[in-house]
Structure 1
Amino acid sequence: MDLVQQFEQSSYGEIIKCIDMHTTGEPTRIIYSGFPLLEGTLLQKRDQAKNQYDNIRKRIMLEPRGHYDMYGAIIIPETELVQSGDAHIGTLFTHNEGFSTMCGHATIALGRFLVDTHDLTVFPRRNELKPDLVAREVKLNIHAPCGLVRVVVPTSKDGQKSDPSRPVTFFSTPAYCAGTNIEVPIPEKLRWPELGDRSSLRVDISYGGAYYALVDARELGFSGGLRNFELESIVTAAKTLKSLLPSIPEVSKALQHPEDKRLSFLYSVMVVDHEIGFKPDGADGSETGLCLFAENQIDRSPTGSCVAARMALAHAKNLRGEGQTWAYNSVVSNHFNTGAFTAAIVNEDIPIEGENNDTQMGVVVRVEGKAYYTGSMTFIVENGDGTSESGFTMQACAK
C-alpha cells in the first residue's frame, strides 16, 4: 500500500480534502470533505465553526499547509435555503482571522467547481442544475452567510463542465451605501509620513455582503495614488486607519445591518484610485483598489463583494446608473492586464429591512470574473504533530 492509499484509508487520522483555485491571483481553497458536520441555520453553523472548530480553520488556512494570505470556502451541502429549495448548496468563507459573510472571488471559483464536480457526496443536488445548451451556461444558487447569491457559470457545449474561457457571473445580495464623508481623526502619534500635517481624513462605508471602509489613496496622503506606490507604506496607513475606525461613533452606526447583528462588523479597508485601471472591452470606465481585510490580509483580486459595495456607493453618489458597466482592478490585474472584474447595477431600490436597524434601500449588482484551478490536496495531521495541528503564523511566533 502506497502513501496516498494510506491517506485515503485514514491511517493518519483526520482527513481533509480540498481543491485549490485562484481568481486574479487570490486563492480559494475549497474544502469539500472532512470538515466536521455543523448544525442549525447557516449563520448558526458559522457560529459553531468559529466557536468549536477554529483550530481546523487555522490548520487549513495557516502554515504549514497554507499561508498568511490564504482564503477558503467550506462546502455546506444542507442549509435552510437548500431545504426550502431556494439554494442548491451553502458555503462558509474563511480566512486568516476567521469567517467572512461574503466573498466574490471565492463565489466565482465555487461556481466553476460546483459545475465541474459530479460527485453527489460533495454536491448532493448537482443533478438539479439544468444547463442551457443554447446559451452554454448553467444557473445555480449558493447560500452564503449574507444571503442567497445567484451564480451563472459558462459551460461546455454539453453543459457538463465549466468553460474557463468565459467569466463566471454572480448577482449580489442587496448592497447599499451606509455612510459617506465620515471624518476620522488621526492621533498625532499614529500619523504616517505621507499624511503630512493633516489631523483627519474622510471615508465612506458601504455594504456588499460585508462592510467596507473606502478611502481614496490621495486622501491617505499618497499623491501618486496606486501607480508605482510603496506597498509597505500604504499598507501601514490602511492598517492604522482600520484600527481607528471602530472607535468612531458614526462608523459604528453605519455598520449596523438591518437584518442581523452577526453581519454588523467592519471587514475591510479598501484603498481606491479612480484615475487608473486596466479597462477591458465593453467597460464604460475603470478604477483600481487595494483591499486590506480580516487580519490585514491583502486581496490579490479586485474583491468581488467590495465591487458590489463600490457600485452601491457610486450609485448613492449619482456616479453610476443602472446598466452602466464598470471595470474594477487590483494591482495584480493591472500588472498582467487581465483579471479585472466587471460590474453593473441590474436592480435598484431593493429594501433591506429587519429588526436590527432602519430599513435601507439597496441595489443588486452583477459581477463577472474568471477563476482557474491550481491543484488538489489531501491534508492530514500525524499524531504528535503539535506544530501543525492548529496551524501557525510567523507573526504570532515572533511575539
Structure 2
Amino acid sequence: MNSEQHPYHCNDISKQTGMVVKTVGMHTGGGPLRIVISGFPKIVGKTLLDKRQYLLDHLDYQRRILLLEPRGHDAMYAAFLVEPDLPEADMAVLFSYGETCSYMCGYATIALGRFAIDYGLVKGVSPETVVKIQCPCGLVATKVQYDDGKTGATRLQSVPCFVFATAVKVNVEKYNEVQCDIVFGGTFYAYADISQFGLNFGTASVKDIIAVSMTTTKAVSSLVKPYHPELTEASYISGTILYENSLMENTPVKFMLVYGDRHAERSGCGSGSCGFLALLHHKGLIRVDELKTFVNGKTQSQLTGRIVKTVTVKELPAVITEVSGRAFYTGECTYYCEDDDTLPFLQLK
C-alpha cells in the first residue's frame, strides 16, 4: 500500500479548534527552528522591541502552546515573522524559546536567510543573495549561496560584538572560585573554561554540563550587571558557555552553551561563536579575516567564523563578525489547540 492508497479519513480538525498555526521546520547543526508562517495572532507594536514585549505580555499563552510539550520540547526555538520598522530590512523576526523571547539566535538567523529566498520573501540572485534581517539586537545580514534556483550555505554578519569584562572571579556553588569572561555576541554570555569544574566534554554528561552552567549563570548574574550602551533591554546574562582548551591560536573552539532554564545548545551556536571571536580578538589571539572553527562539545556540530572589521559601540571597542553554516528543512506542520484542550502545554522541571 502506498501513501496515496491509505484507507484513513479524518474530518476537518480545523473546524473543531480555536487555534490553527502553520509552520516550517528547519535546523542548523541540529539546532531546531519552528518558523511561524500563518495562523498566529497578530503581533503589534511600533518598533520590533515593542512587538517583542507585546508577544510576552498579550500572547504568551499561545506562544507557549507552540514551544512547550506536547507540541514542542525543551530545545525548541521559534521564529515569529513580523513587519520590520527599519526601511533597509527585508524581514523582521522575534526569537522565542520556552520561557521567553531572546534578542538573538545565530543558528536561527542562518536558517531564516535560506527560508527567505526559498519562500519568496527575497528574490534569489546568483551566486549569493543578501537577506537583511531585523533582529531584536539590531540589523544583521545573511549571505546565502544561490545557484540555479537552489540555496546552500549561509554567512551571517553580526551586529557589533564586544567584551564587557574579563577574568571575573565568582564563587560557584560546590566549585568555589571560578573565572569567567562576559561578552556580547547579540546577547550577553558568561564564558568559562570547563576544566575549572573538573569536567571535560568527552566524559561529562549533558546533565552535568547543564547543572554547572546554570549554577554559573546564577552566580555571575548576582555579581555582574553587563551593560549595552545602545540596547539596554538586553543588559543581562542570558546563559553560560563552557569551553575546553579553546583560547589558543590555530585550534578549533570546542564549547557548549546553556541558556534560559536548562536549554542545552545543539548547534555550533552562532551568537556564542560571534562572542568568542570578539573575545579572541580582545586577547590578541585572532586577526581580522582569520578563519576559526567552532565545534559543539557534545554534538560535534560546526560553524566557521571570522572577524570582518573593528568598530566601536559608543566608546567600547567592538568587532563585526561573520559565521558560516548550513540550514536544512525538517518539514512543514500545522499545529492545533482545540478549545476544550485542558492541558495545552507542559513544562516539567
Give the TM interval when normalised to the shorter protein. Answer: over 0.9
Give 1:100-179 correspondences, 5 Å limit: 100-118=102-120, 123=121, 126=122, 129=123, 131-133=124-126, 136-157=127-148, 160-163=149-152, 167-179=153-165
Measured after TM superposition, the shift of residue 227 of structure 1 is 2.1
SS of the equivalent of 1:394 reads coil
Query: What is the one-letter code of the residue matched to 2:240?
Result: V
Pick one of 343, 350, 361 that aligns with 2:305.
343
**1:57–1:98 Cα contact (<8 Å) kept:** no
Query: What is the one-letter code of the residue matched to 1:56?
Result: Q
> Once the two structures are aligned, what percentage of the paired residues are identical?
29
Pick one of 33, 40, 57 that aligns with 1:35.
40
* 1:296 partnered with 2:296: no
Aligned to 1:263: 234
SS of the equivalent of 2:22 reads strand
Q: Deviations over 1:150-186 (max 9, x none)?
A: 00111232xx3413xxx21110000001100001023
Pick one of 80, 85, 89 that aligns with 2:85.
80
Measured after TM superposition, the shift of residue 231 of structure 1 is 2.7
When normalised by structure 2's length, the TM-score is 0.92
Q: Matches of 2:283 and 2:263 in 1, distance apart? A: 29
**2:277–2:321 Cα contact (<8 Å) kept:** yes
Q: Deviations over 1:313-372 (max 9, x none)?
A: 1111111110110000113542xxxx4100000111x1213xxxxx32210111001111
**2:213–2:239 Cα contact (<8 Å) kept:** no
Measured after TM superposition, the shift of residue 66 of structure 1 is 0.3
SS of the equivalent of 1:56 reads helix
Structural RMSD (CA): 2.0
Q: Matches of 2:112 and 2:192 in 1, distance apart? A: 29
Q: Matches of 1:155 and 1:273 in 2, distance apart? A: 36
Q: Matches of 2:106 and 2:168 in 1, distance apart? A: 26
Measured after TM superposition, the shift of residue 260 of structure 1 is 2.5
Query: What is the one-letter code of the residue matched to 1:352?
Result: V
Measured after TM superposition, the shift of residue 240 of structure 1 is 1.2
**1:284–1:325 Cα contact (<8 Å) kept:** no
**1:284–1:324 Cα contact (<8 Å) kept:** no
Q: Matches of 1:284 and 1:226 in 2, distance apart? A: 20
**1:285–1:325 Cα contact (<8 Å) kept:** no
**2:210–2:263 Cα contact (<8 Å) kept:** no
Q: Matches of 1:363 and 1:101 in 2, distance apart? A: 18
**1:274–1:286 Cα contact (<8 Å) kept:** no
Q: Matches of 1:39 and 1:232 in 2, distance apart? A: 39
Measured after TM superposition, the shift of residue 229 of structure 1 is 2.2
Measured after TM superposition, the shift of residue 232 of structure 1 is 2.2
When normalised by structure 1's length, the TM-score is 0.81
Q: Matches of 2:27 and 2:112 in 1, distance apart? A: 10
Q: Matches of 2:112 and 2:298 in 1, distance apart? A: 21
Q: Matches of 1:98 and 1:275 in 2, distance apart? A: 30
Q: Matches of 2:236 and 2:262 in 1, distance apart? A: 15
* 1:234 partnered with 2:209: yes
Structure with the higher strand share, 1 or 2: 2
Measured after TM superposition, the shift of residue 72 of structure 1 is 1.1
Tell me whether 168-177 or 148-157 shows the greater mean CA deviation: 148-157
Measured after TM superposition, the shift of residue 375 of structure 1 is 1.3
Aligned to 1:356: none
Q: Matches of 1:333 and 1:379 in 2, distance apart? A: 28
**1:301–1:332 Cα contact (<8 Å) kept:** no
**1:14–1:380 Cα contact (<8 Å) kept:** yes
Give 1:194-213 correspondences, 5 Å limit: 195=175, 199-213=176-190
Unaligned runs of 5+ in 1: 277-282, 354-358
Q: Matches of 1:54 and 1:256 in 2, distance apart? A: 27
**2:137–2:231 Cα contact (<8 Å) kept:** no
Query: What is the one-letter code of the residue matched to 2:312?
Result: P
Q: Matches of 1:109 and 1:284 in 2, distance apart? A: 28
Aligned to 1:219: 196
Pick one of 305, 309, 325 that aligns with 1:369.
325
Give 1:377-392 correspondences, 5 Å limit: 377-388=333-344, 391-392=345-346
Unaligned runs of 5+ in 2: 1-8
Measured after TM superposition, the shift of residue 34 of structure 1 is 1.9
Structure 1 residues 4 and 364, CA, compared in 2 at 3 Å: closer, same or farther? farther
**1:91–1:144 Cα contact (<8 Å) kept:** yes
